[in-house]
Amino acid sequence: MRTGQFRYGKLTAGLAIASLAAFGAAAHAQDSSEKKSQSPALDNVSIWLGGYYTNNDTTIGAKTGILNTSGDVNLEDDLDFKKHKTVPRARLDFLIGEHQGFTFDYYEVNRSHAKSLDTSINFLGNPIDATARVKGDLKFTFGSAAYKWWFGTGNDVFGVGLGAAYYKVQASISGTASGFGQTVSDRASSDVNAWAPNLQLGWRHAFNDQWRMYFNASGVKKNGGSVYGHIWDAALGVEWFPWQNVGFGAEYAYTRIKLNQDKRRYDLDLDMKLDGPAAYVRFRF
């Protein structure tokens, strides 16, 4: 009787161990399948901190309803603004689940320069020396937030995002001219901000765990209101992770900003093109 009980106990223990082993294997397989269902091109949390070394081409224009008077100033050509400037930029991406998540982007362009103009003009046959000093200021701030859907589970994924963008423009052109024994000063300025819908597209490719490639594109378009226009942005880049959670990113980006503001005395236009390389320190978790 004891021998039977002992054999029965061994059989029961064996079945229990086999059941636990089978349960563990099933759990491991489920966990592995869940991990494999998330593309290696995506991270649960991704942080980008770096700078955008831009080549700038910026024109500020104004137009009045009086005899259709208009004029514009190119900051680089007319006021000798530096064509290149490093613009700080930050991004944050994080997933909710395996194929959806949020993405945030922020950068700011802040430029200021003054130039003295010494010219000799001829008025009614009389040479007159005229001196003018012109100063330009421009500060453009941009931030966006979007909910993104990623399609694909292999080394390639494609994303579509919908959200909102906030932009703020602070611009001014001021001048002081001396001639005929008199000094005249004038100034045109703008300080506006607005929200607009934001559409984003993306592609990610993982060569392996250390090297990846990506393409980002986004567009903002606003019609109507006192401030309207569009902002387009695109970037193609690569990522390299020599360590598991820390790496580097490099991309070439292009940004086009074209905005208009209707004011009481005049309309103000901003046409700004930025392009150049960008570099980031990358953190992934």
Q: How far apart are CA 241 and CA 1, in angstroms?
A: 66
Size of the chain, expressed as the number of residues it contains = 285
In the numeric block, the tokens 């700080």 are attached to 88
Q: Give the distance, in angstroms, between the CA of residue 247 and the centroid of all CA atoms in the same chain.
A: 19
Mean pLDDT computed over 41-54: 96
Side-chain-side CA neighbours of residue 217 (13 Å): 6
Structure token pair of residue 33: 């399948």
Answer whether residue 122 shows pLDDT above 70.
no
Torsion of CA 157, 283, 243, 43, to 10 degrees: -30
Q: Give the distance, in angstroms, between the CA of residue 258 and the centroid of all CA atoms in the same chain.
A: 16
Using one digit for the tens of pLDDT, what is the confidence trace for 223-249?
A: 877 788 999 999 999 999 999 999 999
167 exposure class (CB count in 10 Å sphere: 0-12, 13-18, 19+): buried
Answer whether residue 80 shows pLDDT above 50.
yes
pLDDT of residue 17: 38
pLDDT of residue 127: 55
Alpha-helical segments (H) within the chain: 2-37
Side-chain-side CA neighbours of residue 67 (13 Å): 2
pLDDT of residue 116: 80
Answer whether residue 216 shows pLDDT above 60.
yes
pLDDT of residue 160: 98
In which band, very low, low, confident or very high, does the pLDDT at 124 lie, cut at 50, 70 and 90?
very low
Answer whether residue 35 shows pLDDT above 70.
no
Using one digit for the tens of pLDDT, what is the confidence trace for 154-211?
A: 999 999 999 999 999 888 877 777 666 677 776 767 788 899 999 999 999 999 999 9
Please name the amino acid found at residue 250.
Answer: A
Q: Which residues pair with 117 in a beta bridge?
A: 132
More confident residue, 207 or 270: 207
Answer whether residue 18 shows pLDDT above 70.
no
